[in-house]
């Protein structure tokens, strides 16, 4: 699903215009980004948690040349799904028994 499709779905489900849904989504994304940049985390109970993780500097390899390269330390965003999203994963169906 792309952003435009999400906005249309939000507008339809909430009974609001697409413009209002776009503003709501943009506000949510901005608030999430601001929270993560300030070092906080955003927990939406039942849905999941947005947080940051610090990655250490390390040595990597250029796959084309095989030369070692330095990869700088950085902070990345991380999403941990809540229980309702974890439960979406369906168990594989068992094969039917032959008679």
**Does residue 98 lie in a domain region?**
no
Cα 34 from chain centroid (whole Å): 15
- Name the band, by pLDDT with cuts 50, 70 and 90, for residue 91: low
- Does pLDDT of 79 surpass 90? yes
**Does residue 5 lie in a domain region?**
yes
**Does residue 12 lie in a domain region?**
yes
- Does pLDDT of 84 surpass 90? no
- Which pLDDT score, from 0 to 100, does residue 94 have? 60
- Give whole-number Cα distances, 74 to 2, 38, 61, 68, 86, in Å: 28, 14, 18, 19, 28
Share of the chain above pLDDT 90, in %: 76
Of the candidate ranges 1-10, 47-56, 68-77, 87-96, the one whose mean pLDDT is the lowest? 87-96
Count the domains in the chain.
Answer: 2
**Does residue 93 lie in a domain region?**
no
Q: Are residues 5 and 31 in the same domain?
A: yes
Is this prediction's pTM over 0.95?
no
How confident is the model over 17-46, as a mean pLDDT? 94
Round to whole Å and give the CA distance between 44 and 79.
11
Q: Are residues 33 and 57 in the same domain?
A: no
- Does pLDDT of 24 surpass 60? yes
Domain span at residue 23?
1-38
- Name the band, by pLDDT with cuts 50, 70 and 90, for residue 34: very high
């Amino acid at each position: 699903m792309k952003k435009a499709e999400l906005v249309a779905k939000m507008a339809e489900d909430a009974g609001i215009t697409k413009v209002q849904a776009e503003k709501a989504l943009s506000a949510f994304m901005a608030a999430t980004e601001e929270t993560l940049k300030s070092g906080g985390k955003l927990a939406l109970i039942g849905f999941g948690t947005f947080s940051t993780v610090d990655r250490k500097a390390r040595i990597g390899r250029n796959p084309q040349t095989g030369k070692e390269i330095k990869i700088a330390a950085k902070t990345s965003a991380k999403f941990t799904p809540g229980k309702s999203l974890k439960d979406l994963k369906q168990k594989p169906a068992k094969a039917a028994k032959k008679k």
